[in-house]
Structure 1
């Protein structure tokens, strides 16, 4: 089977990670895959903020849990790396563009032997003043909206098998 198709069919969200650090080389490869995602009109509206700082990672997880209404939970499942995708809202396709970036990164992580999971609530997190200030320090002022968080790490357990696909998934028009 083609390697890309194999990755697409086998990749699963990881919800339990080992505490081991991910080498920068692997993080960079995952990020690079994200930068090659298709984007509307070639505008490349998304940006990726890579967080390997444990203190900031933990703070992001706490805020995510608070927004979710699940205080005290680690919404990042122990993953040591968080790749935050934001996108410039002045580009009409920004949500789709950012979503494709995350999709590419999820597949790249799998191909590199890493676990990954898309974690929501980046939009709500980066609407808060304290995180707007973080973006400002990174030179990301203006119309950036959080699209999602892609967490990475080494899986602590084997993923479950994929659920069978629903029979009504596809309709053909011939």
Structure 2
């Protein structure tokens, strides 16, 4: 699959199988995230790879509470890649968003489904989130950008919706 085909065919997945992604594939996806462009090459984002089911379920519960639901906001995905960025970097949200994009495109290219799940900012403003960072020895002040949930697609892959009109305007 070439890069344009990967970009054009990637979709957000909201139903995953419980099968774990092999470490070799997961490492390739994570590496792609580390090659996202960042303002002034500050490399302000960090990625926390969660494959531990207990922690994954704890994060899901916190996220659901913030969202105001009891449903699993991670759609059953067995892997959660949390992207955070250094709050001292003014472009942190943009930098982290590019990391998220790279993660999702690399996952699709490698046959893995993905979805961007919000509320990482709120999660890592809470004591529970700060405790996770502390337990990993992560110093500094980080803002949660997003969760890239990953897994094998359970069911049919979503169809590509039509592109909207007036998406692009040309100035010649």
Find the counterpart in structure 2 of residue 4 from structure 1.
3
Out of 109, 122, 125, the residue aligned to residue 123 of structure 2 is 125
Find the counterpart in structure 2 of residue 107 from structure 1.
105
Secondary structure of 2:106's counterpart equals: helix
Which runs of 5 or more residues in structure 1 are unaligned?
none
Distance 2:131 2:64 in 1: 20
Distance 1:93 1:141 in 2: 19
Larger mean Cα displacement after TM superposition, 135-144 or 33-42: 135-144
1:122-151 per-residue CA deviation (whole Å, 9 max, x = no partner) reads 000000012101101212222200000000
Determine if contact 2:13/2:158 at 8 Å carries over to the other structure. no
Secondary structure of 2:148's counterpart equals: strand
Determine if contact 1:19/1:80 at 8 Å carries over to the other structure. yes
Distance 2:5 2:156 in 1: 17
Find the counterpart in structure 2 of residue 61 from structure 1.
60
Question: CA shift at 1:165, angstroms?
Answer: 1.0
Matched, 1:171 2:169: yes
Question: CA shift at 1:159, angstroms?
Answer: 2.0
Secondary structure of 1:58's counterpart equals: helix
Find the counterpart in structure 2 of residue 82 from structure 1.
80
Residues 11-50 of structure 1 aligned to structure 2 (within 5 Å)? 11-50=10-49
Determine if contact 1:119/1:148 at 8 Å carries over to the other structure. yes
TM-score by length of 2: 0.97
Question: CA shift at 1:120, angstroms?
Answer: 0.3
Which runs of 5 or more residues in structure 2 are unaligned?
none
Aligned residues: 172
Determine if contact 1:13/1:159 at 8 Å carries over to the other structure. no
Distance 1:171 1:107 in 2: 25
Determine if contact 1:90/1:143 at 8 Å carries over to the other structure. yes
